[in-house]
Amino acid sequence: DTLWDLAIAEVEKRESPDDDGKRLEVWEKSILFMGNKNGGKTTIILRCLEREEIPKPTLALEYTFGRRARRHNTPKDIAHFWELGGGTSLLELIRIPITSNNIRSFAVVLVLDLSKPNELWTTMEKLLQVTRNHVNKILTKLEKTNPEVATEIKQRMRNNLQRDHPDYELVDPFPIPLVIIGSKYDIFHEFDSEMRKIISKTLRFVSHYYGASLVFTSKSEALLLKARVLINHLAFGYDKSKSVSMDHGKPLFIPAGLDSLSQIGPPPASDSDIGKMCANTPLELWKKVFEKTFPPKSSCDLQDTKDPAQDLQYAEYEVDVMRAQKNQELEQYKRNASKSWKEMDFDSD
């Protein structure tokens, strides 16, 4: 058989009815993992795919995939896993994996390092803002070319909350499915109880406001399993977990739509402090309260300053020799240009 014959046979096999007379469609989803640098994204992906590999630092944007069969002798569903490295330093790469072709089957997993609360809000805000802007641009184009799909995507995110939920009109769902993972819970658990409460309440509010699921995890197998449950639901359509943990003294686990503003309570600050804060939205108010306790690091502190070209694990002799030569040529050009500028006689008039 030719390659073409094999491809036709595979398609016919996938589209042929199963024992119940129903056609089995291959489930194909995509997930983008992003968050703090060294926050544990790679570890979570490897555990979801049940791979016993030692995690390596993510250079820029990396890709892998997983396959699962729903039952014996059925086509395997496919999940595409993208991972954005560098914290918030490579935001422009977000537009590569999320396209108009896969937007209907795309989800985002935001991994926030609980052990670094001073980086938490800035990292979360930048990554979600850039992702949301990109998704909204795609949806705006779809409204012109395929309005049914655009409407379906928007309505699907609204469906995370029942219409009779008291917060239905108060939240602003993220345009595509979102899971927020608080990593390194083992370190976070050693924090002062009041600090833990502020961080936990803030992440509960943000998750509920965006219609996202929230889970705290660490290297503990039991906590990683809870994260896997949420991710496997996005990746392979596995059943949602119905368990909930809202106790701030324990690891949080709150699937989308199961929290409420009344259960979360007001921002953790005194009435007088809240009265002095100028905020246009509830999200802005929570940000001000959170950053009063955990002042954010400057943007430059969060940038990934390490030059990947100097990393020995990516050494490549021919490329490195050519790069060294080009660097020498560039330095020579700079010196010559500097001399020529100094020699120019500018007219003071």
DSSP for residue 23: B
Instruction: Please determine, for residue 301, whether its predicted confidence score (pLDDT) is greater than 50.
Output: no
Task: Please tell me the predicted confidence (pLDDT) of residue 280.
Answer: 82
* Residue 70 belongs to some domain of the structure: yes
Higher pLDDT, 141 or 303: 141
Please choose, from the candidates 25, 59, 29, 20, the residue with its C-alpha nearest in 3D space to the C-alpha of residue 42. Answer: 59
Give residues with Cβ within 8 angstroms of 162, minimum separation 6: 168, 257
Collapsed DSSP state (helix, strand, coil) of residue 245: strand
Highest mean pLDDT among 11-15, 163-167, 213-217, 271-275: 213-217
For the chain, count helices (H), then strands (E): 11, 7
Specify the pairing of strand 106-113 against strand 28-35. parallel
pLDDT one-digit tens code per residue, 114-144:
999 999 999 999 999 999 999 999 999 999 9
Paired tokens of 152:
């379906």
Looking at residue 223, which CATH number applies to its domain? 3.40.50.300
* Residue 237 belongs to some domain of the structure: yes
* Residue 193 belongs to some domain of the structure: yes
Paired tokens of 216:
């705290």
Task: Please tell me the predicted confidence (pLDDT) of residue 21.
Answer: 47
Phi-psi region of 263 (alpha: psi -120 to 50; beta: other; left: phi over 0): alpha
Distances in whole angstroms, Cα of residue 225 to Cα of each of 201, 222, 228, 242, 304: 23, 5, 5, 14, 30
The pLDDT mean for the chain works out to 84
* Residue 181 belongs to some domain of the structure: yes
Q: Of 9-23, 211-225, 235-249, 317-331, where does mean pLDDT reach its minimum?
A: 9-23
pLDDT one-digit tens code per residue, 33-62:
999 988 889 989 988 888 878 878 777 899
Paired tokens of 4:
């073409």
Looking at the DSSP assignment, which residues form a beta bridge with residue 80?
A: 30, 65
Higher pLDDT, 89 or 175: 175
Task: Please tell me the predicted confidence (pLDDT) of residue 32.
Answer: 96
Read off φ and ψ for residue 293, nearest 5 degrees: -85, -35
Domain count, the chain: 1
Q: How confident is the model at residue 87 (pLDDT cuts 50, 70, 90)?
A: confident
Which residue is associated with the tokens 């995507």? 153
Higher pLDDT, 89 or 306: 89
Q: What is the mean pLDDT of residues 183-210?
A: 95
Task: Please tell me the predicted confidence (pLDDT) of residue 11.
Answer: 64
Residue 259: domain span: 25-293
Task: Please tell me the predicted confidence (pLDDT) of residue 51.
Answer: 83
* Residue 184 belongs to some domain of the structure: yes
Instruction: Please determine, for residue 305, whether its predicted confidence score (pLDDT) is greater than 50.
Output: no
Task: Please tell me the predicted confidence (pLDDT) of residue 348.
Answer: 47
Task: Please tell me the predicted confidence (pLDDT) of residue 30.
Answer: 93
Task: Please tell me the predicted confidence (pLDDT) of residue 345.
Answer: 54
* Residue 334 belongs to some domain of the structure: no
Looking at the DSSP assignment, which residues form a beta bridge with residue 182?
A: 112, 216
* Residue 156 belongs to some domain of the structure: yes
* Residue 12 belongs to some domain of the structure: no
| E strand or H helix that includes residue 263 | helix 261-264
